[in-house]
Amino acid sequence: MRFTRRKLNLYVLRRRKTIWTFIELLSLLIILALIQVQCRHDGLNVATLKPVCFDTQIAPIFINNCGSCHSASRSRGGYSFVDYTSILQSVTPYNAEKSTAYQAITGKAFKQLMPPGIPLSENDRILIRVWIDQGALKTTCTADTTGTSGTGGTTPPSGGTGSLVCFQRDILPVLLSSCGTTGCHNQTTAKEGYIITSYASVMSNMVVAGSPNSSRLYTAVANNNMPPSSYAKLTTAEKDSIYNWIKDGALNSTCSSSCDTTGTVTYSNQIVAIMTANCVSCHSGSSAQKGILLDSYTNVKANMDNGNILSAVRGITLQMPPGGLLTNCEMRQLEIWKATGEVQN
């Protein structure tokens, strides 16, 4: 009888131990589940957020960071990110999580996070997510360019006004024409390890947001160390723009600028800006791509006369510029300029 009772006691102890082990395991699973819920990135309530604009906020992100590999002429993986129609092919409106584009920039679609080597900033990823969840619409907004730069009344080095400076409109064209050129700081040459062809590459090791005097980009141009002697130095106004842009936080800002096709189109007023922003970085200097120079009125006129420019931007020969298409307005300005005699001033 004692032996039987002892076995019974052992059996009860073992059962109690099993039950407590189960309870401990269950408690641990509940704790882990709670932690997972607390750490989960819940969907943004886009209904409470200001609409994100495709033309001034989303398009520049895709074109500048993805367009060099995913353009009409170089659509890696079958994807293109140079205009609204092509971008929409990799987007599921109202559902960012199921959109290939969003999965790619967050590392969920491919083994390698996109863009490779230089991921988008958190701010850019959030903008894209909100835009998709809001319906991925082709929204057009006009940026407010009437305010000041937010420098708190600080006078820039030259005594300028410190007016609003936008990276895409004001800074990038200057950098592409003066720094990110063939033989200097473009993607292929990358002298001294610097690439100056996009917002991401400039911010990677040349800019300290909020501190121009600690930024290699500003100090080099301010001291006239760059561009080198074979290139024209930046004007005082261009240096001031870089100073103010960095001082105000070095944001990847885009301001819409007027594009007029109703008045007289001249090289000085419209065409040089188009060439500087889209063509000069590859078509200038002794290493100009295919020997085509687009860095002066004479050279641009010659290539307009022989049909090189219009056939390229229309995609008849080779789609140019490779990183993204010209706007319809810019295309029309080129056509009007040619039709009206290619006036210089």
Q: What is the tens place of the pLDDT at every residue in 246-257? A: 988 888 877 655
Residue type, 39: C
Q: How many domains does the chain have?
A: 3
pLDDT higher for 334 or 38? 334
Residue 253 resides in a domain: no
Residue 152 resides in a domain: no
Say whether both 104 and 58 belong to one domain: yes
pLDDT score of 304: 93
pLDDT score of 40: 35
pLDDT of residue 303 exceeding 90, the answer is yes
From the list 274, 275, 296, the residue with the least C-alpha distance to 285 is 296
Residues 6+ apart with CB under 8 A from 121: 252
pLDDT score of 51: 80
pLDDT score of 121: 80
Say whether both 275 and 221 belong to one domain: no
Residue 25 resides in a domain: no
pLDDT higher for 288 or 336? 336
pLDDT of residue 85 exceeding 80, the answer is yes
Beta carbons of 41 and 122 less than 8 angstroms apart: no
Residue 151 resides in a domain: no
Residue 20 resides in a domain: no
pLDDT of residue 241 exceeding 80, the answer is yes
| Confidence (pTM) | 0.39
Residue 32 resides in a domain: no
Beta carbons of 58 and 99 less than 8 angstroms apart: no
pLDDT score of 258: 56
Question: In the predicted model, what is the mean pLDDT of the chain?
Answer: 75
Residue 38 resides in a domain: no
Structural tokens at position 89: 């092919």
The Cα 179–Cα 185 span in angstroms is 6
The Cα 58–Cα 94 span in angstroms is 15
Domain that holds residue 300: 267-339
Q: How confident is the model at residue 15 (pLDDT cuts 50, 70, 90)?
A: low
